[in-house]
Structures are given as C-alpha cells and as structure tokens.
Amino acid sequence: MLTEFATVLVFIVLGAVTVALMLGVSRLLQPRDQTAVKLSTYECGEVPFGSSWVQFNIRFYVIALIFIVFDVEVALLYPWAVIFQRLGLLAFVEALVFIVILMAGLAYVWKEGDLDWVRAMQENPAGKGGK
Amino acid sequence: MGMDKLLVIGAALFCCGLYTILTRRNAVAVLMGVELILNAANVNFVAFSHYVSRVIGGQIFAVFVIVLAAAEAAVALAIFLRLYATTGTVEVDTADELKG
Amino acid sequence: MPLGNLASVSRFLPELAVTATILLLVAVHVVGKNRQSSASALLSLAGVGAALLLTALQPSMPAVSLFEGMVALDGFAVFFKALTALATIVVIFMSMDSAELSGKSQAEYYVFLLSVLLGMFLLSSATDLVMLYLSLELVSIPSYLLAGYLKGRKSSNEASMKYVVYGATASGVMIYGFSLLYGLTGTTQIAEIGRALATGKAALPLFLAAVMVAVGFGYKIAAVPFHMWSPDVYEGAPTPVTAFLSVGPKAAGFAVLVRFFYTVFASPDGAGGPWTLSSPVDWTLLFAVLSAATMTVGNLVAVNQKNVKRLLAYSSIAHAGYMLMGFVLLTPAGIQAILFYLVVYLFMNLGAFYVVILVANGTRSEDISDYAGLGSRAPFAAVSLAIFLFALTGIPPFSGFIGKVYLFAEVINRGVYWLAVVAALNSVVSLYYYARIVKVMFLEEPAEKAELAVPAFPRALLCLLAVPTLLLGVYWEPVIRVAANSVRLLAF
C-alpha cells in the first residue's frame, strides 16, 4: 500500500514541476509591452462599450431553466422507448406514471404564468442594464 | 481505445473540475467545475460498464447522473439568479452576511 | 431474493403516500384560488401522518429486497422512516406557527418539505448505488430551495447559495467515488460490492473511493471537515427549515452511512452483527478521528456564538460527532446507541428550535442578548428551553444523559478510551455554552419588560416535545428495545 502512495507522490511532484516549468518558461519568453491598444478587449476590431454584464430579461432564464429540466427527462425515456415492445404492459404503465408526474410540474409552471411571455413582459420591463 | 485511456480522461476531468471549484470565486464557475466532476464520473461509468462489467448498469447510472446534474444546475442557477437580484453579485466570498 | 416491481408496490405504501400527497399539493395549488390558506399544511399533515401509520403497520420481518434490489425493507429502514416522518410532522406544526413563513405561498414550501421526506425514506433504505445517489439528491435539491425560501432576505439567499455550492461539490466527489467502486467490482448493488471487495482488491483505489464516498455522506451529517456550510445555512434559513435540516437529513445521513459502510466495507458475523472489517482500509480509525474532530470543533466554536441559531448549528455539529462514536465500533450495541440518541436528539433539538421560533415571533431577534429576562417575560417558553438545553448537554435526569450513557458505555466496552475521554471533555465544554443561555434567560435583566405571549397551541406542542425529553430520561426501556430490534440490516 505504501509503495502505491509513493507512486501518487511522484505523480503529484511531477505534475507540480511540469506546471511550474510551463508557467515559468512562458513568463520568461512573453513580450511585455503592454500598451493601451494591447490591453483592449479586441486588439483590432470593435471598440466595446458598456459592461458585458448586462442584465438580460429574467424571462430568458426562467424559460431556459424550465427547458433544461423537461429536456433531460427525455434521456430517461430514450432507453425505455428503444426496448419498449419487449418490456410489455408494466413498463408502459411505469413510463406513464413518470410522464404524469412531469405533467404535474408542467401544470404548475403554466398556472404560475412562467410560460406566458407577453403578460410577463408587461410585469417585468426588459433590459434595465447592469447594476 | 483502451480502458486506461478513458480512465485517464476521467481522472483529468475530475482534477480540472476540482481545480475549478477550488480556485474560482464566481458561483457559476464553481457550478461548471461540479459539472466537470460529474462528467468525469460519467466517463468512468461508461468505460467500466463496457470493459469490466459487461452489463448495462453503468450506462444507466450515467443517464441518471446526467439528469440529476441538469436538475441540480437548474436549481443552482435559479438560486444564483435570486442572489444576484438581492445582492448584485454571485461571488462566493463577497457573500459575507453570515459568518462567525 | 429481490421482489419484482409489481410485487414490491404493496410494501412501498409509505413512499407512495408521500408521493401522492406531493402530487395532490401541486394539484390543489394549480386548481385552487386562495394562496394564503393553511390547506396545504393540513393536507401535508394528513399525508405524512398516513405515511407514518403505514410505516408502523408495515411488517419488516422478514427483511426483503424490493424493486429488483433497489431498496430494502428491513427493521433499520422502518426505524428511520418512522423517525423522519415524525420529525416532518413536528416541523409542519412549527412552520404553521412561524411568523417568518406567514404570508408566503405555502404549497411550494410543503412540496419541498415532503420531497425531502420522500428522499429520506429512500435514502435510509437504498441498497443500490443508483438509488443511493438519486435519493441523496432528492434530499439535497429541495433542501437548497427550502434554505432560500425567504426570497427577499439577503441572508436566506446567501445560505441557499452556500448550501448548493458545497452540496453539489460533495455529491460530485461522492459520485466519482461510486464510479471507482463500480469499476473495482462491476456491480452497483452494495451487497455484491461488499462481497467482491472482501476477496481482496487493490488498496489504493479502494482507499480513494472510501474517502470520496465519505465526503458525500460526511457532508450530509455535517461532520468536520465537511461542516463549513452548516452554520451559515442554519443561520440564514427560515428557522423551521433549520430545525428540519438539523434533524431529518442528518438522521437519514446516518442511516445511509451505516448501511453503506457496514455492507460494503464490513461483513456481518451473523444476522444483525457484530461486523468485522472486510477491506484493507481501516476506515473505522479514520471516522474515529473525524468523530473526535467533529465534536471538538462544534463545541469550541459554539462557545463564542452570539446568535442562538448559529449556536445550535454548532451544537448540532457536535452531536453528530457524538453519534459518530457509535458508528466506528462495528457492534450492534453501537448502532443501537446511535438510534436511541437520534430519537432523543429529535425531541430536544426540535424543541429548542421551536422556542427560538416562538421568541423570534415576538421579538424579531435571534440574538442571545435578547433572551435576557425571558424567564419573567415568557416563563413557559424559558423553562421549556432550559429543559431542552440541559438535555442537549447530557445532564441527568434528562434524556440526553441516557443517550450519552449508551454511547459512552459501548465506546468504553470496546476499549476506545481516548475517544471516550475526548467526548467527556467535550460534554464539559458544552455545559458552558448551554448554561450561558439559561443564565441569560433567568438571571439577567431584560431591556424590555413586556410579557411575550405564547398562544395555547404552541404551548401544547412544546409540552409534547418536552415530555418525551424528560420521560426518556427516567423510563427509556421501550425505546431502547425498539432501537435494539431495528439494528437489522438486510443482508442478501
């Protein structure tokens, strides 16, 4: 057991040395003439203005979050669908139960008005900019 | 591709994830680190399921990990969003209302 | 022989009752108009009550494996289901009285609460890595939301963020550990993993896997060094949620810790133990050190706390440390002591938090300094809090003392003297900070003399929590017998 830990130790030391070496070499070689142009976001292109941390309309996030959850549930249904015919009635009922539970979630989201883009837009006016 | 290579990829992903979690202070970046770790586990599961077990258990496990990772990410992002709305930041260490 | 899916349903009724209640809550919320009514709370009470009843009626003998080996139905699982359902019922009552939560939409709160309960049911009975991971997340994810339920309050949001960041990391590390275990053995059934590992395997990957899994479980029970989240979360979360998190998920965490480590890294010498270490990794020593560290850190940091919730958070870390002592012994008596301690801990800890809620309803404060003169302002609440605090300290004749006696006796019986000494010293430290609150309540002059009204219903509930706390200190025989009968892990 101890010899195995020695392997790990050697691995850690080698890893640390490699990282230090690479960072050191790049520090030695890199040119260091940092003019204002060099430091700008796009050296030869658009001059960026404003903060990139603009607050998007919160509706985008909510819709995206709801989408993620319902989207990945498909991952569970695919394996079921592939061999669905061999599994018989019980598996069909089980998948139905699963979907019904998901529908409860959908009904909740609907009732809360989170799918309702237009009405929600009036409640939360879009894009007030970063804080 | 042999199992060893897949395991090395998994281990590398795990280390990247852990490194991200330990060094980044932005909560969203930390969450990305967690996703890396979960995917490292997924790589392991699928590799082991193919080379060691030869039954499908590991692949099913990977599917569940994917689904739960999404659920966790959705909840975590919703929480960060709310935090941003009240404090204007999602930095892990500028949140210091609670300490002692 | 594991039962198939259809045959398992009739033995899965408590879980089904909770699931049906959750769906009903959503349905009522969607159809209903009145968002402020207490209908959700009453519906949840009925649902959890039904689940508790079904659990009690469920025959746990002989132990069976359900759903093709996904979950076990054994005495151990039944014990934890009853315990967590009881805790949830008390917390629902507490939530109905809490001023923090009033005026908020209720349905979501109870949906989250019951989802955690369902997760705890499954967590205490899971026998497959997939099920284990699923149920752990089912406990965790709604807990994150519960911690942040006071949307407008900064500290609640911050608590929630810290909880999710730590929690996601811990479960990620744990799942990587699971993947290593799966790779070493080629199966996700914990009993089979245990058998495969007993035949001798590479020590290093096994050690890594054990440590990684310990991170995930250690986080759930808030053991040092994975306790960092708990003081912040406990302080920031609404108080009923804090009470719930400090009892329910912690108990379920112990359940899964015992079931997993005693099945995978140890093998029973007969039905119901004692167990022998079957892996080359001596994890009992590791956990003994963690146990000592957990109680020491919890108690020492608690001494300087000014916020009652934060103090109780550190105290609950310390209590996890005490209970871990029983875990490292590998004997049925050790597990029995944990189970008994959890019952006692449920009453005294929930009771203490309930008084905190009642006081905060009147004073809007959780600072210890605002408890000055509580003995004259609200004598009933003050006396109850004193009872709970003395029980938490472990002074005779309170029930906490009996709980500690069982733990200490078994630790000494197994010859782990250093751990017993550390725990005894810790109990002395804990006396200091618990007694400090009592002193502030009864001996210091209040800034405001007005009486704090405690309505009749909370009084009754306080009595219901205080009576077992006192009674179990003098007559604990039935509970210890139940605990002894519940040390039966399914072996298959």
Given a cut of 90, whether residue C163 has pLDDT beyond it is yes
Interface subset of B 6-45, CB within 8 angstroms of A:
none
Assigned CATH topology for domain B3-87: Helix Hairpins (1.10.287)
| 3 state SS of B26 | strand
CB of C423 within 8 A of CB of C325? Answer: yes
* CB-count exposure of residue C451 (10 Å: 0-12, 13-18, 19+): exposed
Check whether residue C231 and residue C289 sit in a common domain: no
% of chain A surpassing 70 pLDDT: 78
CB within 8 Å: B77 and A61? yes
Check whether residue C249 and residue C354 sit in a common domain: no
The answer to whether residue C119 is domain-embedded is: yes
CB within 8 Å: B67 and A73? yes
The answer to whether residue C441 is domain-embedded is: yes
The answer to whether residue A49 is domain-embedded is: no
Dihedral of alpha carbons C350, C351, C355, C361, sign = positive
* Bond before C62 cis per omega within 30 degrees: yes
Domain coverage including residue A16: 2-30
Mean pLDDT of C400-404: 93
The answer to whether residue C179 is domain-embedded is: no
Given a cut of 90, whether residue C487 has pLDDT beyond it is no
Given a cut of 60, whether residue C79 has pLDDT beyond it is yes
Check whether residue A70 and residue A118 sit in a common domain: yes
Domain coverage including residue C376: 283-492
DSSP A43: T
**Residue bearing the bigger pLDDT, C481 or A37:** C481
Check whether residue C51 and residue C142 sit in a common domain: yes
Check whether residue C143 and residue C43 sit in a common domain: yes
Check whether residue C251 and residue C116 sit in a common domain: yes
Which residues does residue C277 pair with via DSSP β-bridges, in sequence order?
A: C266
pLDDT of A128 reads 36
pLDDT of A118 reads 65
Given a cut of 90, whether residue C240 has pLDDT beyond it is yes
The answer to whether residue A128 is domain-embedded is: no
The answer to whether residue C191 is domain-embedded is: no
In the block, tokens 């940091």 appear at C301
Q: What is the domain partition of chain B in residue ranges?
A: 3-87
Amino acid at A43: E
| Poorest-pLDDT segment among C54-63, C167-176, C260-269, C271-280 | C271-280
Check whether residue C102 and residue C7 sit in a common domain: yes
CB within 8 Å: B98 and C164? no
C271 pLDDT band (50/70/90 cuts)? low
% of chain C surpassing 90 pLDDT: 59
A119 pLDDT band (50/70/90 cuts)? low
CB within 8 Å: C188 and B17? no
Mean pLDDT of C421-429: 93
CB within 8 Å: A90 and C29? no
A6 pLDDT band (50/70/90 cuts)? confident
Given a cut of 90, whether residue C401 has pLDDT beyond it is yes
Q: Which of C180, C187, C235 is nearest residue B98 as measured by Cβ atoms? A: C235
**Residue bearing the bigger pLDDT, A50 or C124:** C124
Q: Which of A58, A69, A75 is nearest residue B66 as measured by Cβ atoms? A: A75
A125 pLDDT band (50/70/90 cuts)? very low
| Poorest-pLDDT segment among A25-39, C141-155, C474-488 | A25-39
pLDDT of A2 reads 57
pLDDT of A122 reads 47
CB within 8 Å: A76 and B63? yes
pLDDT of A70 reads 83
Check whether residue C240 and residue C302 sit in a common domain: no
- What is d(CA C230, CA C225) in angstroms, rounded to the nearest whole number? 11
Question: Cβ–Cβ contacts within 10 Å for residue C297, how many?
Answer: 19
Mean pLDDT of C174-184: 92
Token pair belonging to C456: 């009749």
C485 pLDDT band (50/70/90 cuts)? confident
Contacts of B53 in chain C (CB under 8 A): 182, 186-187
Given a cut of 70, whether residue C25 has pLDDT beyond it is yes
Given a cut of 80, whether residue C206 has pLDDT beyond it is yes
Contacts of A1 in chain C (CB under 8 A): 203-204, 207, 280
% of chain B surpassing 90 pLDDT: 45
Q: Which H or E element spans position A111? A: helix A89-111
The answer to whether residue A83 is domain-embedded is: yes
| Poorest-pLDDT segment among A28-42, C63-77, C106-120 | A28-42
**Residue bearing the bigger pLDDT, C374 or C244:** C244
Contacts of B12 in chain A (CB under 8 A): none
pLDDT in tens, chain B (100 residues): 678 888 889 999 999 999 999 888 899 999 999 999 999 999 999 999 988 877 778 899 999 999 999 999 999 998 998 888 888 888 877 766 666 5
Q: How far is CA C222 from CA A42, C228, C245, C251, C385, in A?
A: 47, 8, 10, 11, 24
Given a cut of 70, whether residue A127 has pLDDT beyond it is no
- For B39-96, the DSSP string reads HHHHHHHHHHIIIII-STHHHHHHHHHHHHHHHHHHHHHHHHHHHHHHHS--BTTT--
CB within 8 Å: A4 and C6? no
Given a cut of 90, whether residue C390 has pLDDT beyond it is yes
pLDDT of A129 reads 34
Instruction: Give the mean pLDDT of chain C.
Output: 89
| CA distance to partner chain C, nearest, from residue A97 (Å) | 11
Query: How many structural domains are present in chain C?
Result: 2
Instruction: Give the mean pLDDT of chain A.
Output: 77
Given a cut of 90, whether residue C105 has pLDDT beyond it is no
Given a cut of 90, whether residue C175 has pLDDT beyond it is yes
pLDDT of C62 reads 79
Mean pLDDT of C127-147: 94
Given a cut of 70, whether residue A90 has pLDDT beyond it is yes
Query: How many structural domains are present in chain A?
Result: 2
Given a cut of 50, whether residue C112 has pLDDT beyond it is yes
Q: Which of B33, B75, B100 is nearest residue C164 as measured by Cβ atoms? A: B75
Using the Cβ of A103 and the Cβ atoms of chain B, whether some distance falls under 8 Å is answered with: no
Given a cut of 80, whether residue C280 has pLDDT beyond it is no
Check whether residue A73 and residue A18 sit in a common domain: no
Mean pLDDT of C19-29: 92
Which residues does residue C268 pair with via DSSP β-bridges, in sequence order?
A: C275
Check whether residue C256 and residue C288 sit in a common domain: no
CB within 8 Å: C145 and B100? no
Given a cut of 80, whether residue A37 has pLDDT beyond it is no
The answer to whether residue A48 is domain-embedded is: no
Check whether residue A62 and residue A24 sit in a common domain: no
pLDDT of A130 reads 32
Residue pLDDT, tens place only, C93-104: 999 888 888 776
Strand C71-73 with C64-66, pairing: antiparallel
Predicted TM-score of the model (pTM): 0.89
pLDDT of C177 reads 94
Given a cut of 70, whether residue C36 has pLDDT beyond it is no
